[in-house]
Amino acid sequence: MGSEGDEKRIIKKPRFLCLHGFRTSAEILKKQVHKWPQSVINELDLVFLDAPFPCQGKSDVEGIFDPPYYEWFQFNKEFTEYTNFDECLQYIEDYMIKHGPFDGLLGFSQVGAILSAALPNLQDKGVALTKVPKVKFLIIIGGAKFRSPCVAEKAYSSLIRCPSLHFLGETDFLRQYGSELIECCVEPVVIHHPKGHTIPRLDPLWY
């Protein structure tokens, strides 16, 4: 049996709540992330959450990944008006209360990465996650910013201060918007990869 000193030296893995992309699912994001080397996955405690609402339209991953598909909230074509947004924030907080604590957020694409990146400042402003510990880390893959003025003012009026890791694809259609998000972060670490809007395999030089 180990001594008390040995037990104190056990390092706790950082625990991340993982938010999937638009009209996909927790299971799909899990499959996408698990392309990463097991040596990387083993260093993280990853928890994958389905969005609260069943998919209300066609999913871009139909024929690639099996349903069911979910969405975090609904929005207009310009991504400036949101329906069920407050319900989405409450759903995430309720899950974090029940299954936490969590150290950070991992998000992919619309809307997982956009939500994840916005939540630390929304938390600081008292708009979201008011009953859970502060978000300490971010992993953003194919990210961007909210375009609703009222949400953006709260999410980006001050810099995002928690350390953040960003994956930016050379041919990602959101690349410009991902770069704009990175400018809002105090401590961004950016990994550029040659792919498009996807979760890339990790080059051994990156870790």
Residues ≥6 apart with Cβ < 8 Å to 202: 36, 37, 40
List the chain residues with pLDDT less than 50. Answer: 1
pLDDT at 110: 83
pLDDT at 12: 87
pTM to 2 decimals? 0.91
In the chain the domains, ranked by start, together with CATH numbers, are 15-193 (3.40.50.1820)
| Residue recorded with tokens 């008390």 | 4
Kindly report, residue by residue over 15-26, the tens digit of the pLDDT. 999 999 999 999
What local confidence, expressed as pLDDT, does residue 86 receive? 97
Q: Cα–Cα distance between 109 and 92 in angstroms, integer?
A: 17
**Of the candidates 120, 119, 108, the residue with the CA atom closest to the CA atom of residue 46:** 108
Contact 132, 101 (CB under 8 A): yes
